Structure 1
Amino acid sequence: MTATTRSAGFRPVLLLTGAYAALSVLTLAVIVLFRHHPALVTDAVWVRATLVVASSLLTFAFARSAARGARKGLLRLRIVSAVMLVAIVVIVALPGLFPLWLRVEQGVCGLLLLAVTVLITRRRSR
């Protein structure tokens, strides 16, 4: 399989991880805009959003690496996407720790990562 073919086959994963990164960065921007509204933006929201932005950018970088054929990139993508998916499920399930709007945003991120996880797991089984 050539690098171009591999990259084309990874296009959905790249789009999903790119959307996850974009949504995460956008969320952090919204947090900055609403930083003076303590009911919407708590210290926990700042911490969570910062961690999610960092992990989403790493996830996208690992997806790009995997698309170029790097086995370590694919392994890292599998690990990070699975760990973040579990963390998101916990965040969404825990009542009261985060405002509803962030839990909804995290649910969307979780759906994106679930799709990534399914796609890269299917690739492995082939």
Structure 2
Amino acid sequence: MKNDHLNTVVKLLSAFLVISLATIVATVLMRHNPTLVTTAVWIRTPLVAASAAILLVLARRAATGHRGSFRRLRIISPVVLTAIIVVVAWPGAFPVWLRVEQAVCGVFLLSVVVRTNLRGVGSSLEAGSEHSATTPATRR
């Protein structure tokens, strides 16, 4: 079944991953400037890219009807969004350029959280798509 919200979520998370990977490249290019690339930046950027990749995998699986992936997407995406909000709001912990980048990613992720929690999005997934042994005819 086609689910436009989940297809949009895949696109949003693809953009989130691209931005996150570009941020790692920017970090490497600016590595000689300790005011722009702090230890916190070196730690944060790969973690954000990894979370973006995981969320994208979950979204792609959810878009194909996998209920477990959809459930995980709905649990993990608000956690990642909360971490992004902390980075953006925590004065002095991260350079301004990274806080701006994280704010942009936060907008994408906020849209993901909203879209995955809309009424009917999860119910449109095919029942039993987690490879259960029962068929729809045997479930009551």
Query: Is the shorter-chain TM-score for this pair beyond 0.5, marking a shared fold?
Result: yes
Q: How many equivalent residue pairs?
A: 122
Give the whole-Å Cα distance in 2 for the aligned partners of 1:28 and 1:9.
29
Report what 1:104 is aligned to: 100
Give the whole-Å Cα distance in 1 for the aligned partners of 2:122 and 2:66.
14
Query: 1:95 pairs with 83, 91, 94, which one?
Result: 91
Report what 1:52 is aligned to: 48
Report what 1:119 is aligned to: 115
Unaligned runs of 5+ in 1: none
Q: Any residues of structure 2 matched to 1:1-126 within 5 Å, and which?
A: 2=1, 5-6=2-3, 8-122=4-118, 123-124=121-122
Unaligned runs of 5+ in 2: 125-140
Normalised by the size of structure 2, how large is the TM-score? Answer: 0.83
Q: Between Structure 1 and Structure 2, which shows a larger proportion of helix residues?
A: 1
Give the whole-Å Cα distance in 2 for the aligned partners of 1:56 and 1:23.
9
Q: How big is the alpha-carbon RMSD for the aligned residues of Structure 1 and Structure 2?
A: 1.4
Give the whole-Å Cα distance in 2 for the aligned partners of 1:125 and 1:11.
15
Of all paired residues, the percent bearing the same amino acid is 47
Q: Considering only CA atoms, is the larger Rg found in Structure 1 or Structure 2?
A: 2
Deviation of 1:31 after TM superposition, in Å, equals 0.4
Give the whole-Å Cα distance in 1 for the aligned partners of 2:122 and 2:64.
16
Deviation by residue 1:20-68 (Cα, 9 ceiling, x = unmatched): 0110000001101111111100110010101001000001000001001
